[in-house]
């Protein structure tokens, strides 16, 4: 059971990394996810049915994901649409595109060789999944760590953090945002390709709820592993993907029916958003009380007022001034 979740988590990890790239690095909530995930699945399974090898088909899935990201990026930067709307438009359009690629709503693999079939047949399916997931996720993480050591990676981080400053320092911010969308959705589509091969089919509905899964995993990962270094942050994302699978397995074990899975993932997201907020609030309260005791003041009124102000920093309040300002207003009262 635990090992199954580990394997599944590793297959979902590229999706979480993709969501992390737009959500944390570029500071954009990108809904394209819901379309690019099944796109990766549809393209990969269709390509395999047409005779392509599992590796070629998976890479093709990755590349079409990049194209989907490019579309959202162009809508966002060149046509100046709000990023949420840009994502929704691409996602909606992709539904039809995916149906065209697949020809019908669900296409199963017949007896094509999936990625796990390259491993010795004596291994159990669970182990095969863990090895394939681990290898693919490992390659993605290493390539991204290398990317973020280049000037391009630095420019990407700067653009997400402070677009005005980036432009003033010669960075073509529109181009950076588009590149970010492309890499992100490529990873997400790759995850779709892996999941589809693991399931043995591609389904038009498999993208529903993936953005919630992605965001929840990002937040879970950050609860367990935070840091300034990109390697640590990316490993945190992989960990988040795995722990999220454990949480779902745990909940299913408690007897929740499969139909409640989406509701469950929404509730998990709410919990992981609220948990760090409460944590910060509690810690600040403790600190303020200790400080007031130290300087010999005992005023409950002061304590509560200071606490409510200092806990204004939420987990979702992103990096840039834009988001923190909006969030700050929400929590200020």
Partner 1 sequence: MTIDPGDFIAVIGNNGAGKSTLLNTIAGTLPADAGHLTLAGHPVTKRSVAYRSHWLSRVFQDPKLGTAGELSVAQNLTLAASHTGSLSLRRYRRRGQTERYRKLLATLEMGLEDRLNVQVKYFSGGQRQALSLLMATLSQPDLLLLDEHTAALDPKTSREVMDLTQRIVTTHRLTTLMITHKLSDALRYGNRLLMVQDGQIKLDVRGAAKAALRQDQILQLFAE
Give the footprint of partner 1 on this chain (CB under 8 A): 149-155, 157-158, 161-162, 164-173, 175-176, 228, 319, 321
Cβ–Cβ under 8 Å, residues 286 and 294:
no
For 78, the token pair is 């060149």
Nearer to partner 1, 7 or 314 (CB): 314
Nearer to partner 1, 100 or 151 (CB): 151
Least separation in angstroms between residue 73's CB and partner 1 is: 15
Nearer to partner 1, 161 or 280 (CB): 161
Nearer to partner 1, 154 or 316 (CB): 154
Least separation in angstroms between residue 70's CB and partner 1 is: 16
For 253, the token pair is 């074990």
Cβ–Cβ under 8 Å, residues 27 and 160:
yes
201 strand-pairing partners: 108
Least separation in angstroms between residue 316's CB and partner 1 is: 15
Cβ–Cβ under 8 Å, residues 173 and 159:
yes
202 strand-pairing partners: 107
Nearer to partner 1, 310 or 319 (CB): 319
Give buried/exposed letters for 294-329 (b at 16+ CB in 10 A, else e). Answer: eeeeeeeeebeebbeeebbebbebbebeebbeebee
Nearer to partner 1, 12 or 20 (CB): 20
Please report which helix (H) or strand (E) contains residue 281, including its range: helix 261-294
Least separation in angstroms between residue 203's CB and partner 1 is: 37
Least separation in angstroms between residue 87's CB and partner 1 is: 23
β-bridge pairing 106-108 and 201-203: antiparallel
Cβ–Cβ under 8 Å, residues 105 and 218:
no
Nearer to partner 1, 170 or 296 (CB): 170
Least separation in angstroms between residue 161's CB and partner 1 is: 4
Least separation in angstroms between residue 21's CB and partner 1 is: 14
Least separation in angstroms between residue 308's CB and partner 1 is: 22
Nearer to partner 1, 152 or 270 (CB): 152
Long-range Cβ pairs for the range 43-47 (8 Å, 24+): 43/101, 43/189, 43/193, 44/192, 44/193, 44/196, 44/197, 44/202, 45/102, 45/107, 45/109, 45/196, 45/197, 45/201, 45/202, 46/101, 46/102, 46/103, 46/107, 46/202
Please report which helix (H) or strand (E) contains residue 202, including its range: strand 201-203
């Amino acid at each position: 059971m635990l090992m199954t979740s580990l394997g599944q988590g590793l297959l979902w990890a590229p999706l979480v990394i993709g969501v992390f790239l737009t959500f944390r690095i570029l500071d954009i909530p990108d809904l394209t996810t819901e379309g690019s995930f099944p796109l990766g699945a549809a393209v990969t399974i269709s390509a395999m049915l047409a005779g392509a090898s599992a590796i070629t088909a998976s890479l093709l899935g990755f590349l079409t994901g990049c194209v989907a990201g490019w579309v959202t990026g162009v809508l966002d930067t060149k046509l100046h649409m709000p990023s949420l709307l840009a994502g929704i438009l691409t996602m909606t359009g992709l539904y039809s595109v995916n149906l065209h690629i697949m020809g019908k709503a669900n296409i199963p693999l017949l007896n094509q060789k999936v990625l796990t079939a390259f491993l010795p047949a004596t291994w159990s399916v669970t182990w095969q999944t863990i090895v394939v997931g681990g290898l693919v996720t490992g390659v993605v993480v290493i390539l991204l760590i290398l990317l973020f050591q280049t000037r391009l990676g630095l420019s990407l981080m700067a653009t997400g953090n402070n677009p005005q400053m980036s432009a003033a320092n010669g960075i073509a911010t529109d181009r950076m945002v588009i590149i970010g969308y492309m890499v992100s959705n490529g990873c997400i589509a790759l995850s779709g390709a892996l999941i589809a091969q693991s399931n043995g089919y591609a389904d038009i509905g498999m993208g529903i709820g993936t953005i919630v899964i992605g965001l929840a995993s990002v937040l879970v990962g950050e609860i367990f592993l935070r840091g300034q270094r990109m390697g640590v942050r990316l490993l945190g994302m992989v960990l988040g993907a795995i722990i999220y699978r454990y949480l779902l397995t745990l909940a299913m074990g408690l007897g929740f029916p499969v139909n409640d899975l989406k509701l469950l993932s929404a509730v998990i997201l709410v919990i992981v958003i609220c948990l760090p907020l409460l944590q910060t609030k509690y810690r600040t309260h403790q600190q303020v009380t200790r400080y007031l005791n130290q300087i010999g003041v005992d005023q409950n009124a002061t304590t509560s007022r200071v606490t409510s102000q200092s806990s204004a920093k939420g987990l979702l309040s992103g990096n840039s001034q834009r988001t923190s300002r909006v969030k700050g207003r929400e929590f200020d009262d």
